[in-house]
Amino acid sequence: MPVKKSMKNKPASKAKSSPAKLYYYRIFFDDNERKNYMKSSLTHKQVEKHLKAYEKTHKKYFNTEFVEFLKKYDRKAELIEITDISY
């Protein structure tokens, strides 16, 4: 007589997690008139929400300070500075 195998006794297979998506955003000029880019795992809508919260608590807008503020919500947030190269 065949024996039925129980699914309860089998170990659960580990699902491989894919790396989080990183989004790249252009940050418009801040009060120092610098244009930068940043990368974050937050969506555009989430970044806008945090930007509005940042603007309520800060009188001046600086890209570096905003990215530091954003790191509370996204540890992968990073500022990418753009500089000119001359040769």
Tell me, yes or no, whether 59 lies in a domain. yes
> What pLDDT score does 2 carry?
61
36 pairs with which residues across the strands? 27, 81
> What pLDDT score does 64 carry?
85
- With CA atoms as reference, report the closest residue to 46 among 83, 26, 73, 16: 73
Tell me, yes or no, whether 30 lies in a domain. yes
Tell me, yes or no, whether 63 lies in a domain. yes
Q: What is the 3-state secondary structure (H, E, C) of 26-53?
A: EECCCCCCCCEEEEECCCHHHHHHHHHH
Tell me, yes or no, whether 11 lies in a domain. no
Note down the domain range covering 56: 23-81
Report the domain count for the chain. 1
Q: pLDDT tens track of the chain, all 87 residues?
A: 566 665 555 555 555 666 678 888 887 766 666 677 899 999 999 999 998 899 898 888 888 888 899 999 999 999 887 777 888
Query: How far apart (Å, rounded) are the C-alpha atoms in residues 55 and 74?
Result: 18
Query: How far apart (Å, rounded) are the C-alpha atoms in residues 56 and 46?
Result: 16
Tell me, yes or no, whether 74 lies in a domain. yes
